[in-house]
Amino acid sequence: MSISDPVRLGVAGLGRGFMLTLPSLRVDPHVTLVACAAPREESRQAFLEEFGGNAHASIEALAADPAVEAVYIATPHQMHREHAEILAAGGKHILVEKPLAVSMEDADAIVEAARRAGVHLITGPSHSFDQTVLKAAEMIASGVYGEPRMVHATNYTDFLYRPRRPEELDTAQGGGVIFSQAVHQIDVVRLLMGKRAMQVVAMTGNWDPDRPTEGAYSALVSFEGGAFASLTYSGYAHYDSDVLMNGVSELGQPKPEGTYGKERRALQSVSTPEEEALMKSGRTYGAVDAPPPAPHSEHFGPIIVSCDRADLRLTPDGVEVWGDLEKSFVPTPADPSPRAPVLKALYNTVRGTGAPQQTDAWGRASLEICHAILQSADEGGFVTLEYQ
Ligand SMILES: NC(=O)c1ccc[n+]([C@@H]2O[C@H](COP(=O)([O-])OP(=O)(O)OC[C@H]3O[C@@H](n4cnc5c(N)ncnc54)[C@H](O)[C@@H]3O)[C@@H](O)[C@H]2O)c1
């Protein structure tokens, strides 16, 4: 497919998030990378060598770059507000990494900045843009299977033991699995349900004093009309639920054998937070290459949706339908651009031919559920949601 007017895209932050979207940014016809902003000289140089264009040292310079129509903000969570405000004021449309922000006040400010400037804002790419999730949402919305009543989403990963910047281990600064991981599950279940979330009750786990932030949670979210979703996550690097996803990793790659305990083992070689942050930046753009194109769709762990007339199980290759009398399978072929749906959504939004559900207000509503999980775990009982 060729597109005559791809969105001229700038990127703010050439770290891990950018690396994971890079396989798509390299091949997707809906966007052309024309500029970046990055504080590190090596990253800017690597960008210029691969894409040409303009490599800026500040967000302000990126916001003032006339070659840029839209910017993918892939800087740390706590910077999203400042960067979105500067870019919106510069008239740039925005694709901002999840979570939209850390505090609800910052989320409000981002929504306000985008609206004041009249720019579009998409929150993503979260796993709600995965091909299988979008296919399942479309199948549920068709009504063929009856009302969605219950979603069960679970994921066991090594999230907490991947190398981290210090603030990623501090909940107050947006660290821990609630802001970085629960937000994926929240986006996914909201999209699959297609209904307003009402209340949340949750408990969280903060079990490792050396990494003193939430590493696990279980949450129950109620939806309009009595539907509900259970969300469970552990990032404590023991069980790996990718074994329930046909041995396919979150990024759609076959999981290599013999790598059990790899992240914990790697951490044994660092002794200070600074060394750990260096280990993280050593895995980003300009230092190592991005993963190759994935043969399967990305996923966020086992997810089953119970509707009146069928249970739908999401797999890395499509949707299993466990109906009343028969089972069937609806495939979602892997795309050479694994994150095509979010880039296509950005294109349609900027060109005025459609908008995804995952807008600025959507991102704020998902962030509210993150805060509700923390609040419920802290105070006990149900938290009623207001921004949905
Ligand atoms: N969707 C996904 O699959 C996914 C995966 C990883 C991270 N993320 C998201 O990406 C965002 C960044 O997290 P990360 O893990 O990539 O962190 P990271 O530390 O690897 O990358 C952040 C990058 O921002 C750069 N940066 C810092 N200040 C800047 C500034 N003022 N201007 C421009 N660049 C600046 C840093 O140099 C670094 O390269 C977070 O919001 C995170 O949730 C998303």
pLDDT single digits (tens) 248-285: 999 999 998 899 999 999 999 999 999 999 999 888 88
Q: Which residues pair with 203 in a beta bridge?
A: 218
283 and 199 in a single domain? The answer is yes
pLDDT single digits (tens) 82-139: 999 999 999 999 999 999 999 999 999 999 999 999 999 999 999 999 999 999 999 9
Question: Percentage of the chain surpassing pLDDT 90?
Answer: 93
Q: Does ligand 1 have an atom closer than 6 angstroms to the CB of 149?
A: no
pLDDT single digits (tens) 173-206: 999 999 999 999 999 999 999 999 999 999 999 9
- Res 207 pLDDT > 90: yes
Confidence at residue 184, expressed as pLDDT on a 0 to 100 scale: 98
- Residue 65 sits in a domain whose CATH number is 3.40.50.720
Residue 54 lies in a domain: yes
* Ligand 1 atom with minimal separation from the 58 CA: 32
Domain that holds residue 330: 128-336+369-384
* Ligand 1 atom with minimal separation from the 184 CA: 1
- Res 1 pLDDT > 80: no
Residue 278 lies in a domain: yes
Q: Which residues pair with 375 in a beta bridge?
A: none
Q: Does ligand 1 have an atom closer than 6 angstroms to the CB of 74?
A: yes
**Tokens at 213, concatenated:** 């932030």
* Ligand 1 atom with minimal separation from the 125 CA: 1
Residue 47 lies in a domain: yes
Bridge-based pairing state of the strands 310-315 and 303-307? antiparallel
Q: Does ligand 1 have an atom closer than 6 angstroms to the CB of 9?
A: no
Sequence-distant (6+) residues with CB within 8 A of 245 are 299, 301, 302, 315, 316
* Ligand 1 atom with minimal separation from the 127 CA: 1
Number of domains in the chain: 2
347 and 323 in a single domain? The answer is no
Backbone torsion region of residue 16, taken as left when φ is above 0, otherwise alpha when ψ lies between -120 and 50, otherwise beta: alpha
Q: Does ligand 1 have an atom closer than 6 angstroms to the CB of 13?
A: yes
Backbone torsion region of residue 30, taken as left when φ is above 0, otherwise alpha when ψ lies between -120 and 50, otherwise beta: alpha
Residue of the CA atom closest to atom 2 of ligand 1: 17
330 and 348 in a single domain? The answer is no
Best residue among 19, 21, 43, 75 to mutate for probing ligand 1's pocket (most ligand atoms within 8 Å of CB) is: 75
- Res 50 pLDDT > 90: yes
Backbone torsion region of residue 226, taken as left when φ is above 0, otherwise alpha when ψ lies between -120 and 50, otherwise beta: left
Residue 351 lies in a domain: yes
Residue 364 lies in a domain: no
112 and 156 in a single domain? The answer is no
What's the one-letter identity of residue 239? Y
For the chain, helix (H) and strand (E) counts, in that order, are: 12, 15
Residue 339 to residues 64, 117, 131, 172: CA-CA distances in angstroms? 27, 27, 8, 30
15 and 74 in a single domain? The answer is yes
pLDDT single digits (tens) 328-386: 999 998 888 999 999 999 999 999 999 999 999 999 999 999 999 999 999 999 999 99
234 and 307 in a single domain? The answer is yes
360 close to 110: Cβ distance less than 8 angstroms: yes
Confidence at residue 231, expressed as pLDDT on a 0 to 100 scale: 98
